[in-house]
Structures are given as structure tokens and as C-alpha cells.
Amino acid sequence: MTKKMNVESFNLDHTKVRAPYVRLAGEQTGLNGDRILKYDVRMVQPNEEHMDMMSVHSLEHLVAELIRNHADYIVDFGPMGCQTGFYLTVLNHENYDEILDVLEQTMNDVLIATEVPASNEKQCGWAAHHTLKGAQQLASDFLGKRNEWHLVFAHDE
């Protein structure tokens, strides 16, 4: 038996999941009762595919900026180091279906974007490392399987 790890995703059997999906990966309650929820937004199949870093970087900029047009409870949208997805962190918001809708609206916004926001040297630490086209392809592929986002494991079908 594998030792239980402190990091939730290290306890997830990555050989059993079927991307793309969106799953609640963790939640914490602060001292004042605020709830922080973290969603695993898995874009590609772990250990079979990965997203190229320029596309990851650009999609992160786009979603981090655009998602806030749809929801005021967003804390962060950040990439996973394994390049298979992102973590979406929200505050005091537990409505899973609404999270999916907000992600869908945001990915549609990405498809019609004409530039990657904050992709200049003043606002970004690696401004030359962006691709709008790559980010839009990731968004398109993810949206193409929208009806499957709630299915995390192959046996969920």
C-alpha cells in the first residue's frame, strides 16, 4: 500500500482518471468560516499527453484575466507542473455546475481573444513565451469534450 501523501493530487491514481475533467480536489475552511475550494481542471490525459509550455503560459494568462468577467469568487487559476491541467481556486462557492458553466464561458472567450493579456515585459516574467494560437487550440480541445467534464474516472461513464 502506498503511503498517504500530504498533497491531495499525489494520492490520486493518475492511471485511473480520464481527461478532460473538472473535479473538486480540495477544500479548506478558514478561521472566519470562509471556504476555499480547489478544482482540478485536467485538460489532457496524464502520462500520455502534456500541453506545451507556451500554450500553458498563454492559456493561464487568458483564463486568469477572462474568468473574472464571469465570477467574483475566483482566487486563482494556475498551471500544474506536469503540464496536464490547471488548478482553479475559488472562495465561498460550492456550486459545481456553475463552475463548469464559468469555465465554458471563459474558454469561449479565449477562442475569440485577439491577444494574450499582459504578455509584455512590464507585466510578465517571460513575455516572449506566449502563443495565442496554442492557447486557443487547448481551449477548443477542452470545449470539444464539454459533456465529459464531470466524468473523472473511466468507470464513471
Residue range 57-75: mean pLDDT, rounded: 98
pLDDT of the residue at 1? 58
Residue 4 lies in a domain: no
Residue 1 lies in a domain: no
String of b and e for 10-21 (b: at least 16 CB within 10 Å)?
eebeeeebbbbb
Spatial neighbors of 109 by CB under 8 A, at least 6 apart, are 62, 66, 69
pLDDT-derived band of residue 156, with 50, 70 and 90 as boundaries? Answer: low
Residue 8 lies in a domain: no
What pLDDT digit, counting tens, does each position of 71-130 carry? 999 999 999 999 999 999 999 999 999 999 999 999 999 999 999 999 999 999 999 999
pLDDT-derived band of residue 157, with 50, 70 and 90 as boundaries? Answer: low
Distances (CA, A) of 7 to 2, 10, 21, 38, 76: 13, 5, 19, 12, 18
User: Percentage of residues in the chain with pLDDT exceeding 70?
Assistant: 97
Domain span including residue 74: 15-156
Residue 114 lies in a domain: yes
Residue 3 lies in a domain: no
Element (H, E) at 56: helix 53-66
pLDDT of the residue at 2? 74
d(CA 118, CA 65): 9
Residue 7 lies in a domain: no
The larger pLDDT score, comparing residue 141 to residue 10, is at 141
Spatial neighbors of 69 by CB under 8 A, at least 6 apart, are 106, 109
94: domain CATH number is 3.30.1360.80
Residue 2 lies in a domain: no
Residue range 46-60: mean pLDDT, rounded: 98
Above 80 in pLDDT, residue 155? no
Mean pLDDT of the chain: 96
| Domains identified in the chain, total number | 1
Q: What is the pTM of this model?
A: 0.95
pLDDT of the residue at 141? 98
Residue 85 lies in a domain: yes
